Structure formats: structure tokens, C-alpha cells
Amino acid sequence: MGNGIIGKKDKSKNQSNRYVDQVDKLFKEEYEEDTIEAANLALAICNRDETQNVEMHMQCENLPKMDTRGKADPVVFVYEQVGQNKQQKKNYKKNKQKRQNWILRGRTEVIPVTYNPKFLKYFVFSYNIINVQKIRLDIYDTDCFSKLDDIEKQELIGSVEFELSQVMCAPSHQITMPIINKKISKKLKNSTCTIRCNEYDVGGDKVYFHLGAQGFFTKNELFIRISNINQAKETIPVHRTENEKNKKPSIAWKPFEIPLSKLGKDDKVYIKLEVVEFDKDKGQIVIGEAEHTLAFLKDSSNKNIRITFNSLFKGQINLLKVKTIKRESFITYLVSTTQISLLAAIDFTNSNQPQNKTNSLHYFDPRNKQNESEYCLALKNLTVILQQFDHDNDIPLYGFGAKLPPFYNLVSNCFALNGNYFDPSVNGSVGAVKTYLTQVPHLQFHGPTILTEIIKIGAKYAQSEAIDQKNQKYYIMLILTDSDPNDIDSIIDELVEASCFPISYIVVGIGDYQFSKFENELKQIGKRMYEKTTKLIFEFHAKIKYTTTRIQKRPKVNNIRLYSLEN
């Protein structure tokens, strides 16, 4: 998913910069949202939950003129009501207080100076037919761009309320509803909102675009809007580039990627390319367009295509590069025949506090077996989920950062927790917890926090496998720690070495530490790794901020953050 469309000029800041800032803020974590949904889907599979993840798109038609300044600058705020199952539906309808309990799920981008906005931003919901899932869309005319998220500063156009099941049960999963606002009901006589849902694709290939343009005679900023054309010949916008000043004979936009599923099923899908002029007074003006199949665009890479409007030649789009990028994700492996193997490692450094101290993250009260340590709870809850995908239920379990019995003279940064270096495996989640509880009293916590050896041992498992079509294996290494590692540079070096092996590392934060240094390094790791290797790297790292107050039957996966290491 790419950049969104943003609003008109704000006096306090440069117009283009203001727009770009809004776009970046709205879409910079889109890939992380994909990953969160992948994790949710994995948990649903684990619990045999038949919930379906769907993405919701929206567009408005015939919005009213709200003031004398010109056309509206619409934005939509999306709310979800606290869900109820069908047995509670009668009480739910009678209870006015619950009916007003709406949770903000986010907002769309602003589309300036238009009565008929088609929003690029979509929203993902978990749809289950047994639940009542009410959605409310509040459409606003943007008056204050500097405080875009403050709805008190904007002017309400109207609202639409519906149940998600209405959309999912409608033909083509699409409904059109009137926009309601009793205060301006006459103005809204012909105003409608169309909502469309489709299955959310968390994996699959992506299409890489690098586009330029030449020959367009205008001094205003230009951008390119890409839409797919469905079977009903409707155009559905899926991406737009940033605004680019048209001051040179030819211009180029930043490269971007679009999931193939947003465009269609294969290369035969038709795509519409529009060159749009942005005028601060008139808004967006389409000055040229072209329709081609994705296959044609890929075959025409490094060539130019003609752009026309009303059959008149207007200029050219330079197809600097158009190609398909294969994208494999963890969820792709889950739904395939790949054998998943789980490994785990636990932090026993002295930053956790000695295990006999009540404030220790490893403290276990022998008088109250229900009072498990935070490490024990995290280990149990996470391995019980991940072991569902483990093909043999054997989990190699390691520790790091402690001095070992009987002499306690050396710090080990990688040791088999069961004491058997040649066979460190335990039997499933129960075996992992039992081994942890048995061994933790006999360890002497030390430091510093070194993860390099743990990264190495995980890579050795993955490296030892001869991967082919008949033998497909993938490794997941779970690392539980309470602080930033002290060897980040070495970790990056080891990840470079491990990048060609079938393994993912999941770093789980225990306790209240913020892990800011480690998280910042992970955000920059793609660039640093690409400087050290010429290979296309697809590796993932996650941090689950995990505390006892969050632990339920399964962890709250909405705190997962994964970073893709692709060039």
C-alpha cells in the first residue's frame, strides 16, 4: 500500500511538506499492520477460529458544499462498536449506553477539493458470522489541517452505520448507503457512501514500480494514480505517488510496491494509470490516462507509454522499471507443506535480578504455584501457540548470560538448558516449562546481554538442512530477554550470514523496559545489511512487549512489530 491523498494548503507550513508529512504518518507502518494480521491469522488457525480477515474500502458520492470557500476536503473517521454475539443481540439493541460505545479504528487520508472522493486507505477487520460487528463512518470536511485528528476542529458532513455482515452478504461484497446528518438533511439528499469488502491477503507477490513522466505542459505539481479495473469495469484506486513539481523536461517519482492482490490475480489484469495535476484552488485534475494489462507494463519496462485525454495526446509516462517481486511470509509457510521447527532461548543475565528476589522477572513462589514468573508465563503462552505448527514437537531450549554449575567460573552466552549440549530438545511447551523451572534455581545470573551466539546456533540448525522441493523446513527462534543486547553490531553481522537460511528470529521483551535502542537499530537494519551483502534479504525480527498484565490464554499479538530486511 502506498502514499495517500492529502489536503489543501495550510498557512503555517509549506503545502507540499504538509501533505507529505500526513502521508508518511498515515502509511509508514502499513507493512507492520500486514504482519500483525498474519500473526492474528496464525493464532486463529491455532484455535480453529473460523474468523475471516477482510479489508474494507470506501468512497463517497455527491457530497454537499459545506461553506463558501469551495468544494469539500473530505476525510473519514472509522469506528467499530463493541462486538456482541447473536445471543446478546437483543440486549445489545436495548442498551443505549453500549450502543454508543464506539472505538476509533483510524481515519482515511484527506482528498482535497472534491465531492466524490475515492479513498486509498483501507481498514482490516476480523469478520465472524456469529458476531454483530457494527461499523460507523463519520465523514468530515477538513477545516484545520494542522490538527487533522481533532474532530472538534473539523466540520461533520454526515455518518453511515452498518453491520459488517451486510457488506459480506451483499452481491460483490458491496453496499451503498445514504449519508445521514439531521442538521443538514436537505443538503445530503443525494449523498451516498459505498463500502466494499474483500478478503485480506497477508502474503503473496508484489509489483515494483519506478515511474517518470515527460511532455506535460503545466507548472503545477503532478502525481500518478494507479487503479485496478474490476470485472464490472469500475476503477478502484490502489496507490498514488507523491506530488512532484513539474519544472524539468522529465520528472521521476520514488519507486514503490503494490501487493499483486490489490491489482488482480495475475498479469492479465487491466490497470489504469492517471496523470493528475494538483491545483491548490481547483484540487485534483486528471490531465491524461492510459489502460494496459500488467503484463504489457512489465514487458514495456524501460520504455515510454503514451498518455491521452479525450483522445488527445498529453504526454508520456516513463516505465523506468516494472517487475514482480516474489514475497514469502511466515503465513505463506504455515499454509503450505513446509515443516516448521521451533527453537527457544531465555535470558538469565543479572538485569533480571536474582531468582530468589521477589522483584526478579524469574521469581517463582514455591508456596503459590499459580504465581509464575514473567519468563515462565511468556514461555508457556508463546510456545503453546507456536508448537501447534512444530512438526515434531521437539523444541531445542537454550539459555544465555549465566554462570553454570558446578564451578560457576565462566559466563555462557549459549547453553543447553537441560544440560545436554548434544541433545538440547525438550518435549513441547510442557517440557520447556518443566525444564525451565527445574534449572533456573541452579543458575548464577551474570552478564552482559549477548545474543550473537544464540543467533549463530539458530542459523546452524537452518544451515544443516538440505532444502529442496521434497524437504522444505523453516525455523523460528524465540528469544526472551529483558533488555537491549550489548552486541548489536555483531548481531547484524550474524544476521547477514543467516539471511540466506530458512529462519526467523522473534525477540520477546519481558518486563517494562522500552527496548528503544534495539528497536531503533532494527528499523535501520535493512540498509545496514544491504551494505554488507548483495543478496535480496527477506528476514524478520519481532518484539512483543510482554508483561503479566497482558497475558491471557494467548498473547496480545497487536503489540508485535516486525521489520522486513529487503533492499
Residue 194 and residue 109 in one domain: yes
Helix (H) or strand (E) holding 453: helix 452-463
Sign for the pseudo-dihedral over CA of 501, 504, 507, 508 = negative
pLDDT bin (cut points 50, 70, 90) of residue 564 is very low
Q: What is the pLDDT of residues 330-350, one digit of tens each?
A: 555 555 667 889 999 999 999
Residue 381 and residue 518 in one domain: yes
What pLDDT is recorded for position 368?
Answer: 73
Does the structure show a pLDDT above 70 at 506? Answer: yes
Contact 353, 360 (CB under 8 A): yes
For 87, 102, 381, 404, the CA distances from 98, given in Å and listed in that order, are 15, 8, 32, 56
Beta strands in 230-294 (DSSP E): 235-240, 244-245, 250-252, 256-259, 270-279, 283-293
Return the minimum-mean-pLDDT range out of 67-76, 183-192, 211-220, 480-489: 67-76
Residue 404 and residue 294 in one domain: no
Instruction: State the alpha helices, DSSP H only, in 311-358.
Output: 330-334
Residue 214 and residue 162 in one domain: no
Residue 195 and residue 318 in one domain: no
Contacts of 554 (CB under 8 A, 6+ apart): 43, 46, 47, 381, 385
Contact 281, 70 (CB under 8 A): yes
Q: Give residue 321's domain range.
A: 206-325
Residue 273 lies in a domain: yes
Q: What is the pLDDT of residues 397-445, one digit of tens each?
A: 999 999 999 999 999 999 999 999 999 999 999 999 999 999 999 999 9
Contact 47, 554 (CB under 8 A): yes
Residue 379 lies in a domain: yes
What pLDDT is recorded for position 537?
Answer: 32
What pLDDT is recorded for position 469?
Answer: 55
Does the structure show a pLDDT above 90 at 550? Answer: no
Q: Before 237, cis peptide (omega within 30)?
A: no
Give how many domains the chain has, as a whole number: 3
Does the structure show a pLDDT above 90 at 395? Answer: yes
Take residue 417 and report the three cell numbers written for it: 538448558
Residue 466 lies in a domain: yes
Boundary (domain end) residue, out of 199, 230, 254? 199
In terms of DSSP bridges, do strands 394-400 and 192-199 run parallel, antiparallel, or are they unpaired? unpaired
The mean pLDDT of 31-48, rounded to a whole number, is: 48
State the residue for C-alpha cell 495526446: 313
What pLDDT is recorded for position 522?
Answer: 63
Return the minimum-mean-pLDDT range out of 16-20, 112-116, 324-328, 404-408: 16-20
Q: Please, what is the average pLDDT of the chain? A: 78
What pLDDT is recorded for position 375?
Answer: 93
Residue 528 lies in a domain: yes
For residue 43, which amino acid is it?
L
What distance separates the 2 farthest-apart alpha carbons in the chain? 86
pLDDT bin (cut points 50, 70, 90) of residue 253 is very high
Residue 348 and residue 275 in one domain: no
Distance from C-alpha of 458 to C-alpha of 454, rounded to nearest angstrom: 6
Backbone φ and ψ for 331, nearest 5 degrees, come out as -65, -30
Boundary (domain end) residue, out of 325, 354, 372? 325
What pLDDT is recorded for position 553?
Answer: 29
Backbone φ and ψ for 86, nearest 5 degrees, come out as -65, -30
Does the structure show a pLDDT above 80 at 207? Answer: yes
Residue 142 and residue 223 in one domain: no
Q: Which residue has the higher pLDDT, 507 or 95?
A: 507
Q: What is the pLDDT of residues 437-492, one digit of tens each?
A: 999 999 999 989 999 999 999 999 988 875 555 667 888 899 999 988 998 888 88
SS3 397: strand
Instruction: State the alpha helices, DSSP H only, in 464-533.
Output: 488-498, 516-530
Q: Quick one: which of 74, 195, 65, 66 has its CA closest to 136? A: 195
Residue 6 lies in a domain: no
Q: What is the pLDDT of residues 66-92, one digit of tens each?
A: 877 778 889 999 999 975 554 444 444
Residue 9 lies in a domain: no
Q: What is the pLDDT of residues 265-315, one digit of tens each?
A: 788 899 999 999 987 777 788 999 999 999 999 999 999 999 999 989 999
Contact 384, 395 (CB under 8 A): no
Residue 508 and residue 369 in one domain: yes
Residue 314 and residue 396 in one domain: no
How many helices (H) and strands (E) the chain has is answered by 13, 31
CB atoms < 10 A from the CB of 305, how many? 14
Residue 351 and residue 497 in one domain: yes
What pLDDT is recorded for position 346?
Answer: 97
What pLDDT is recorded for position 271?
Answer: 95
Residue 380 lies in a domain: yes
Residue 192 and residue 148 in one domain: yes
Helix (H) or strand (E) holding 548: none
- Look up residue 462 and give its DSSP letter: H
Q: Which residue has the higher pLDDT, 389 or 427?
A: 427
Q: What is the CATH number of the domain that holds 552?
A: 3.40.50
Take residue 108 and report the three cell numbers written for it: 482515511
Q: What is the CATH number of the domain that holds 116?
A: 2.60.40.150
Does the structure show a pLDDT above 50 at 30? Answer: no
Residue 38 and residue 69 in one domain: yes
Distance from C-alpha of 400 to C-alpha of 267, rounded to nearest angstrom: 49
